[in-house]
Structure 1
Amino acid sequence: MAATQVIQSEWTKIRSVASTVWTLALAVVVTVGLGMLISALTKSQYDNLSETERLSFDPTFISFAGMSLGQLALIVFGVLVVSNEYSTGMIRTSLAAVPQRGTLLFSKVAVATALALVVGMVTSFITFFLGQLMLGDLKASIGDPGVLRAVIGGGLYMTLIAMFSMGVAAMLRSPMLSLGILMPFFFLISTILGAVSATKKVGQYLPDQAGSKIMQVVTPINDDTPYGPWGGLAIMVAWVAAALVGGYVLLKRRDA
């Protein structure tokens, strides 16, 4: 089967599974809604901030506060796209139709990545503009230095989270096992490692912590992170590449 036909087939699969569509919708709603809420709360509490907190105040980054929860929906999306066929047994049919396993995985990832990129970019821009609306006179403008980079970076971050999840799901094959590892990793372990001083230097090289740097415009006071926005994104891309290569290698070596 030609690569274009495989891509069309994967597009049909993704559209026909309601859960994948709902997870993308949930990512938008949670990211935008929580971002607006936290931006509004920040505006109301701004007068109570210390001088140090005001110097670190980043209106752009604040509008992306909902991304920490919204990314969980992208993780579910990435996992379901790849591992759904394993849980239903349809993977055998897919491999029979497309014996070239690399082509099958590439097509699946390509279609899902394109969809995640569109949703991520739309979500990022809506989140920014509505968040700034909530911040009122504290807002940043899309034309301010570094802001457009941060907003585009927000969309790239969401896309890379989904891609990383696809790679992990391709390695583990089980949706329950994949989610059982990824959810605690991003929601608890990464946060704890980044917050504890003894493990902070390790935590800052994890994919979510490094990647989120691209959404920062104002560098916080006393921030000793050894890389900038693009360096952080590059670290996240390396994690994604490693996960996808691992998924490809195991798909080639294992039986369906």
Structure 2
Amino acid sequence: MGSFPAILQSEWTKIRTVRSTVWTLLLTFVVTVGLGALISLLTKNNFADFTKNDNSPFDATTTSFAGIGLGEIAMIVFGVLAVGNEYSSRMIRVSLAAVPQRGTLLTAKSLVVGGLALLVSLVTAFVTFFLGQALLGDHHTTLSAPNVLRAVFGAAVYLTMLCLFSAGVTAMLHNQTLALGVLVPFFFLLSPILSAVPKVKNVAHFFPDYAGKQMLTVFPTPSEPYGWLAGFFICGAWTLAALLGGAAVLKHHDA
């Protein structure tokens, strides 16, 4: 086994040489920025209609992040592909032969995947915010406004956690198709449906997507069960559990 920096370098090489992972990161940026800009422009041009029945303060930050839902899909796919490509190509056997310490291998992979996801998410979050505010015109806000800077960073942290959660689930399942078949319906069908059902919505409030999105809120509302800090820890707990689960499966099962 090589040194840990050498393992990190190897994992970086794997990711940057696979076109699908590069494209999913680019797609995260494009759809989040593009849809956020479109919604911000539509909101500016139809501001009176959009806010006439809303008594709560206008949240310019959340408006600019209207496209983050599509960005989530791309980031989930990136997390899945970053781990699952090795299983689909059987290259995981080569990786394990080079690095028999499976926990070390997954740690290095998680650091590279998470670091890259965080970098792209930070760029995406700030570009999305600034472009959205520019298009909102007189209805814009600034980073110096209360809770705004925290919300922008929260968007980047949320996307990063979602990526790492997806990577951990893929490590547990050893199959990228199965991982996508579980994650996409969970986040975009099961979670929204359960959140709308009165008798079970309290359970859905503790799902990682609901918790993570609390980090984007600027104006706390009494109807929410908890605030951004609790959302950070809940989403972080899901992410850590997925990565630990992936490490346990990788350690005790053949690739």
Q: Indicate the TM-score class for this superposition, using the shorter chain for normalisation.
A: over 0.9
| More displaced 10-residue stretch of structure 1: 168-177 or 57-66 | 57-66
Tell me the equivalent position of 1:16.
17
What pairs with 1:135-214 in structure 2 (closer than 5 Å)? Answer: 135-214=136-215
- TM-score, normalised to structure 1, is 0.96
Q: Which amino acid aligns with 1:243?
A: A
State the shift of 1:187 in Å.
1.3
- Residue correspondences, number: 254
Asked if the contact 1:124–1:152 (Cα under 8 Å) also holds between the matched residues in 2, the reply is: yes
Asked if the contact 1:38–1:62 (Cα under 8 Å) also holds between the matched residues in 2, the reply is: yes
Asked if the contact 1:56–1:219 (Cα under 8 Å) also holds between the matched residues in 2, the reply is: no
CA distance in 1, matches of 2:40, 2:49: 15
CA distance in 2, matches of 1:10, 1:39: 38
Asked if the contact 2:154–2:215 (Cα under 8 Å) also holds between the matched residues in 1, the reply is: yes
Q: Label 1:16 to 1:50 Cα distance change in 2 as closer, same or farther (>3 A).
A: closer
1:252 aligns with 2:251: yes
Q: Which amino acid aligns with 1:134?
A: L
State the shift of 1:153 in Å.
0.8
Asked if the contact 1:210–1:233 (Cα under 8 Å) also holds between the matched residues in 2, the reply is: yes
CA distance in 1, matches of 2:209, 2:151: 15
Structure 1: which 5+ residue stretches go unaligned? none
Tell me the equivalent position of 1:235.
234
State the shift of 1:196 in Å.
2.7
State the shift of 1:134 in Å.
1.5
Q: Which amino acid aligns with 1:38?
A: I
Q: Which amino acid aligns with 2:4?
A: A
CA distance in 2, matches of 1:50, 1:163: 36
Q: Which amino acid aligns with 1:166?
A: A
Q: Which amino acid aligns with 2:35?
A: L
- TM-score, normalised to structure 2, is 0.96
State the shift of 1:199 in Å.
2.4
Tell me the equivalent position of 2:111.
110
CA distance in 2, matches of 1:50, 1:38: 14
CA distance in 2, matches of 1:245, 1:52: 46
CA RMSD of aligned residues (A): 1.2
CA distance in 2, matches of 1:160, 1:147: 20
Q: How much identity, in percent, do the aligned residues show?
A: 54
Tell me the equivalent position of 1:32.
33
1:53 aligns with 2:54: yes
CA distance in 2, matches of 1:4, 1:186: 34
Q: Secondary structure at the match of 2:125?
A: helix
What do the CA deviations read for 1:148-172 (whole angstroms, capped 9, x no partner)?
0001111111110100000000000
Q: Which amino acid aligns with 2:252?
A: R
State the shift of 1:243 in Å.
0.4
| More displaced 10-residue stretch of structure 1: 186-195 or 161-170 | 186-195
Q: Label 1:95 to 1:16 Cα distance change in 2 as closer, same or farther (>3 A).
A: same
CA distance in 2, matches of 1:52, 1:197: 24
State the shift of 1:97 in Å.
0.5
State the shift of 1:3 in Å.
1.0
State the shift of 1:57 in Å.
2.2
What do the CA deviations read for 1:69-110 (whole angstroms, capped 9, x no partner)?
111100010001111111111111110010000011000110
Q: Which amino acid aligns with 1:130?
A: L
What do the CA deviations read for 1:187-228 (whole angstroms, capped 9, x no partner)?
1111112223332211111101111111110134xx422211
Q: Secondary structure at the match of 1:53?
A: coil
State the shift of 1:56 in Å.
4.1
Structure 2: which 5+ residue stretches go unaligned? none
Tell me the equivalent position of 1:123.
124
Asked if the contact 2:117–2:159 (Cα under 8 Å) also holds between the matched residues in 1, the reply is: yes
Asked if the contact 1:15–1:21 (Cα under 8 Å) also holds between the matched residues in 2, the reply is: yes
